[in-house]
Amino acid sequence: MITTHPFDDDKLREECGIFGVWGAADAAPLVALGLHALQHRGQEAAGITSWDGEHFHTHRAMGQVAGNFDRDETMRLLTGEAACGHVRYATTGETALRNVQPLYADLASGGFAVAHNGNISNAVTLKRELVRRGSIFQSTSDTEVIIHLVATSTYRTLLDKFIDALKQVEGAYSLICMTPEGMIACRDPLGIRPLVMGKLGDAIIFASETVALDVVGATYERAVEPGEIIIVSGRGMRSLKPFAPTHARPCIFEHVYFSRPDSIVDGSSVYSVRKAIGAQLAIESPVQADFVIPVPDSGTPAAIGYAQKSGIPFELGIIRSHYVGRTFIQPGDQVRHLGVKLKHNANRALIAGKKIILVDDSIVRGTTSLKIVQMMRDAGATEVHMRIASPPTEHSCFYGVNTPSRAKLLAANHDVAGMAAYIHADSLAFISIDGMYKALGEERRNDIRPQYCDACFTGDYPTRLTDQDDLAPEDQLSLLAERVV
Ligand code: SF4
């Protein structure tokens, strides 16, 4: 089975999107719509939990939002004026239903449902200790660690237990939790993964991205701040900042690739930032050519920026079919290769005899870039120059993004000339790390206090990687399996 987007098989993948509604008559259908707008953040499974004032109701299933929540009988079960939901992308290991979120547990304080975007980088270490103390885990998701930490906390109130739990976890977490006492939304102290708040009439909405607010007709109020916990209940809204103040480092890759271009992330239009990255790339790495051509779809805004800055015409040299679905069965390698052409084809009449600049957002393994460059040559391009709207991806992400191991990252094993040779490009250039920061409105990267998490480019991780650093290699493998399923 191919994924939605053959060109995206060689991309880093955001693993989750979350959405929550408090105080709307039709909370669950709104959550379904919001999750649909976040589908790009995870396509393997989706779930919604609602609360009707007395009972929690959950529907979770493998598959996409449209297929899981298109039936009246399903939606009729999800009653109540509060609901939260989750889309997830599972990479390796088990994609079992028991890992599909929201996760739910009956605690001493009542029901507790949680939807999590991110990854807890000390989950295996914490889980071992919890299991030693008698906790019985129902899933292999790192998120369940939070539930057990809340359940076993010795603090008295649910909120204090929740804060106590979060103070023990490391890594990235944007959370939407539903309890009988209200909805709790929070972002880790570094704000690695995004979370925004909106309003729809009197209802409060939380979402991974602003595009999901747009889709349900909600107004964008503000980003949930790094380290902030917001509680909404029948008594109104409260904001707490219980963590020691620290220097925020949101994920820079949200701007480059993960977020939809029509979203606002950390106050910046994703589309505008991607265009600015393309323009900066044109300044840093000019080359003579007839056309600038985007690798669809994620390379498009950067290609527009590159073309506008360089004065070289922007053209569509790769045409995407919108009618190849994700359930298209591909039985063998030979046919799998044809899948790329089913979804994307070279615009031969445009390209033949021309020098072209291909613009893409990133190179991970390099396998797709190799195919695209070959596709352009087969269509008659005389020169193919590749420009990449991010620095070389040399390191793995441990914060809720699926990355191959370093051994499989092309940039971890080749210099730029070696990468160009591998993908058979006439030239290859990446935006510089300072150039990327410049496109985000910064003067340059502050090496003492970096403004963003950029660890997959620099290896400068903003948190301890306890499981990675402290566990034996065989346990780290199990960590990988546990963190992504
Ligand atoms: S390592 Fe890369 S993908 Fe992961 S959070 Fe940091 S910038 Fe984002």
Atom of ligand 1 nearest to the CA of 12: 3
**Å from CA of 452 to ligand 1 middle:** 9
pLDDT digits (tens, 9 = 90+) for 79-107: 999 999 999 986 433 567 889 999 999 99
- Which DSSP letter does residue 30 get? H
Q: Report CA(453)–ligand 1 centroid distance (Å).
A: 6
Q: Select from 273, 401, 402, 463 the residue to mutate for testing ligand 1; criterion: most ligand atoms less than 8 Å from CB.
A: 401
Q: What mean pLDDT comes out for the span 446-456?
A: 97
Q: Is 226 helix (H, G, I), strand (E, B) or coil?
A: coil
**Is residue 279 over pLDDT 90?**
yes
State the pLDDT at residue 211.
Answer: 98
Note the pLDDT of residue 471: 66
How far apart CA 88 and CA 212 sit, in angstroms, is: 15
Q: Per the structure block, which two tokens stand in for 448?
A: 């003492």
The label of the residue with tokens 């910046």 reads 268
**Residue located nearest, by CA, to atom 2 of ligand 1:** 456
Taking residues 318-334, what's their average pLDDT?
62
User: Could you read off the pLDDT of 361-386 as tens digits, one per residue?
Assistant: 999 999 989 999 999 999 999 999 99
Of the listed ranges 179-188, 200-209, 424-433, 470-479, the least confidently predicted one is 470-479
Which tokens belong to 180?
């009988």
Burial class (CB in 10 A: 0-12, 13-18, 19+), 185: buried
User: For a pLDDT cut of 70, what percent of the chain falls above it?
Assistant: 90
Strands (E), 332-478: 344-346, 355-360, 383-388, 401-402, 427-430
Q: What is the pLDDT of residue 361?
A: 95
Cα 389 to averaged position of ligand 1 atoms, centre (Å): 15
- Does 342 have pLDDT greater than 90? no
Using one digit for the tens of pLDDT, what is the confidence trace for 470-484? Answer: 765 555 433 333 333
pLDDT, tens digit (0-9, with 9 covering 90-100), for 14-25: 679 999 999 999
Show the tokens assigned to 37: 């707008």
- Residue 478: the pLDDT is 39
What's the token pair of residue 267?
């106050």
pLDDT at 298: 85
Q: What is the mean pLDDT of residues 1-11?
A: 50
Instruction: List residues with catalytic annotation.
Output: 16
Rounded mean pLDDT of the chain?
A: 90
> Residue 325 — very low, low, confident or very high, per pLDDT cuts 50/70/90?
low
pLDDT of amino acid 3? 39
What pLDDT score does 403 carry?
Answer: 84
Give, in order, the Cα–Cα distances in Å from 413 to each of 407, 418, 440. Answer: 7, 9, 28
- 351: tokens are 């390209």
Pocket of ligand 1, beta carbon within 6 A? 192, 251-253, 397, 399, 401, 453-456
